[in-house]
Amino acid sequence: MDVLNARGEKTGRVAWKSEAHRRGLWHRCFHCWIVAPETPSGGPYLFVQRRAAGKGTWPNKLDVTVGGHLGAGELALDGLREIEEELGLSVSTEELITLGTCRVE
């Protein structure tokens, strides 16, 4: 994955995900929240997933609907592949509402 500086700019370096996490290197991830404004039961709905029991971080905890790390050279919308990998859904960019980028430490 691309290593970023504190402003979110590419540094020209790449690292494996394990190295980026171990060393605390800035890198990009893709998150997609799937919501339904109205459901048959009447209210809004947020779809989440439970992390696997064997995960090294936050096992068995609820998590974002779809998420993954972006590989070296990938852009945010390249993360759409994660939706198909995790849910089997083919989603176009027109079906998304971009909420922006956030920095998390």
pLDDT digits (tens, 9 = 90+) for 14-69: 999 999 999 999 999 999 998 888 878 888 888 899 999 998 888 999 999 898 89
Whether residue 83 lies inside any domain: the answer is yes
pTM for the whole thing? Answer: 0.77
Burial of 51 (0-12, 13-18, 19+ CB in 10 A): middle
For residue 103, what pLDDT band results from cuts at 50, 70 and 90?
Answer: confident
H or E element in which residue 87 lies: helix 80-87
In a domain, 59, yes or no: yes
3-state secondary structure (DSSP) of residue 62: strand
Question: How high is the pLDDT of residue 100?
Answer: 84
Domain count, the chain: 1
Q: Residue 17 falls within a domain, yes or no?
A: no
Structure tokens at 40: 């048959």
Structural domain that includes position 74: 30-95
User: Is the model's pLDDT at 105 over the cut of 80?
Assistant: no
pLDDT, position 36: 86
As a whole number of angstroms, the distance between CA 84 and CA 79 comes to 10
**CB-CB contact of 35 with 23 (8 Å):** no
